[in-house]
Amino acid sequence: MFKKLFPALVLILALSQNSFAQLQIGGYGEIALSRNFFSDNINRYSHAEDYKNAKSHGRFDIPHVAFAIGYTFNSKWKMYSEIEFEHGGTESATELEAEEAGEYENEIERGGEVALEQFWIERSFSSAFNLRMGHLIVPIGYTNNNHLPNEFFTVYRPEGENTILPCTWHETGVSLWGRIGKWRYEAQLLPGLDSELFGRQNWIQGGSASPYEFKVANKYAGVLRIDNYSLDGLRMGLSGYFGYSFNNSIQSSTAEKYKGVKGAVSIASFDFAYKKHAVIARGYFDYGHLGNSEEISRYNKSLTKNSPSPRTNVASDAICTGIEAGYDIFSPIKNPAKDKLYIFGRYEYYDSMYKTAPNITGNEWCGRQRIVGGINYFPTPEIVVKAEYSAGMLKSQYNNENSISVGIAYAGFFN
């Protein structure tokens, strides 16, 4: 009996092993602790002098935890999905309040976000031509294309791109990508951003979100990214975005004064990454322009208080640039454990209101510089322990925003 069943068991086991080999499970996560040596009061910019000697404040945080599952069906078809919990996700509860005449009460016990960051199905025709459809990462700038915690030195994601751009930027659309020799390209067709969600502090960052159960696509946008790998250890990339954003909501304006307003968003970016000889260096430069920013500012400020819009002025131009470099001090010595300890430095400048339309008042506190120094310890390539001191330098009429942060993170796949 067993001899008859043995071939079938072997076949089932072989098929199971083959299926497991095609399955990809992994993700990434970050835990952080910060002590901020400045006030967190909402009036610290409008009445800066009142908060000059404010006490420090601390925060524990879980910035991002993502779980990923992928499956390769065959040489032509592949699926990948990733769900992300930001700041611990959300916790809500319904309680029966005895002291309030037995009323039911809904409470938010913990803030945060849960988002489907990626879900796509891919058809591969060759290494030079692949078609990907679904919820995609938008590869504009450095951080969106390299957002895992072992791909940047700082405890939190690079502050400049994380301020003025959606980060991690993900949209539902179509992507064509491929690699030809030392070059890689990617072109995407996406729904446009929603200008109602633009604002002074984060420029167009909020425009990728949707307060509805679907993403409005009255307007469309295109993305193109090209990376070059010709030099050993060096990757250089150019990326660009263009799309219209005005009236890309369910409440479109038909007012005559907004006729012809398109809200064209243009973004150009250069970024690079170098890793060789115990040195890692990374950097980026992003510049963005918003057409009709004056009309959009006026329109947004006229929206009702119930609107999800920030209802603030928005700049015509935003800018951010950053560079970081680290050296593995374990590299000159014999190191059987092969762990790494990088000492790094970082400089960053960004301004979400770099330029404004003639009748729009800018906010100088939106522009700032940041200098960071710290360490990254890698006991394995997938785990990193981070510590840093950050000096956030604003213009002289405001108070600087310095901090100390420590964190631990992982990124990788388990099979």
Specify the pLDDT at position 368: 96
Note the pLDDT tens digit of each residue in 341-365. 999 999 999 999 999 999 998 899 9
Cis-peptide, bond into residue 168, ω within 30° of zero: yes
| R_g over Cα of the chain | 24
Q: What distance in Å separates the CA atoms of residue 174 and residue 347, rounded to the nearest whole number?
A: 35
Token reading at 365: 């506190």
C-alpha atoms less than 13 angstroms from C-alpha of 339 in its C-beta half-sphere: 10
Burial (0-12, 13-18, 19+ Cβ within 10 Å), 66: buried
Query: Residue 70: which of 23, 137, 133 has the closest Cα?
Result: 23
Domains of the chain in sequence order: 25-86+117-413 (2.40.160.10)
d(CA 15, CA 170): 35
Looking at residues 31-50, what average pLDDT do you find?
Answer: 92
pLDDT confidence band for 12 (50 / 70 / 90)? very low
Strand partners of residue 160: none
Mean of per-residue pLDDT scores for the chain: 90
**Of the candidate ranges 70-74, 217-221, 226-230, 336-340, the one whose mean pLDDT is the lowest:** 336-340
The pLDDT score that the predictor gives to residue 274 is 98
